[in-house]
Amino acid sequence: MSWLQQLSRAWQKTQLQRPELETMFTTPLAEQWVAIDCEMTGINPKKHHLLSVAAIHINGNTINTGDGMHVVCRPPVMPDRDTIVIHGLRTADVEHGMSYEDMLALLLPFIGNRPIVGFCTQLDMAFLNPLVKRYMGTALPNDIIDLRHLHSQRMSGQAQNLLGQSQDLTRILAHYDIPELGTHDAYNDAIMTAMAFLHVR
């Protein structure tokens, strides 16, 4: 971690409003990560909403699928017909979901100080961090690892057409012969991201 990152994290810690989450700012153990995936009503954080979050621990070369978490949230606006086709979550599925605050009360201790692994992490963080900041006073302090970037780096010496495909999770899975469990389901996506990460890293 660079001195700038250390300075930024130290400043974030001064903004923390929930002392029970102070361990999120400690140095993580080696070979421990958490794979995360989110489902939203759309891709614009200014007008769309978080629907579900899944998180799975990765310890060394082991993905702890039996100890993961998957939470369906109750958004302020119910999903419409167009987005239901994508994520499969109907009004009936989310209207009794967890509040964002209750979801974060479970998710943040589960994440702890582990680096976060995801696919298209910039989008997930754009939805998660505003909620996290309202909940604990600061955005997530964790290191963020984007599977797309890792794969692109690994393919940098390969043919250009592979680089062009590296943004597609389905193609990354196929490249490493990883079975597709069904996309646009937060828990399945988190598992597949974790499996791909173990190949790419």
Q: Is the pTM of this model over 0.85?
A: yes
Neighbour tally for 85: CB within 10 Å: 10
pLDDT of residue 28: 94
Domain-located, residue 25: no
Number of domains present in the structure of the chain: 1
pLDDT of residue 89: 72
Residues of the chain falling short of pLDDT 50: 159-166
How far apart, in whole angstroms, are the C-alpha atoms of residue 80 and residue 123?
20
Pairing of strands 116-118, 144-146: parallel
Q: Are 113 and 24 in contact (CB under 8 A)?
A: yes
Q: What values do phi and psi take at 164, rounded to 5?
A: -65, -25
Domain-located, residue 98: yes
How far apart, in whole angstroms, are the C-alpha atoms of residue 127 and residue 145?
16
Q: Are 104 and 21 in contact (CB under 8 A)?
A: no
Q: Which helix (H) or strand (E) holds 175?
A: helix 169-175
Domain-located, residue 101: yes
The CATH number covering residue 82 comes to: 3.30.420.10
- Supply 88's token pair: 């499969």
Domain-located, residue 81: yes
Domain-located, residue 52: yes
Domain-located, residue 49: yes
Residue 32's DSSP bridge partners are: 59
- Supply 167's token pair: 């943004």
pLDDT in tens, 95-147: 889 999 999 999 999 999 999 999 989 999 999 999 999 999 999 999 999 99
Domain-located, residue 141: yes
pLDDT of residue 161: 43
Range of the domain at 120: 30-200
Domain-located, residue 21: no
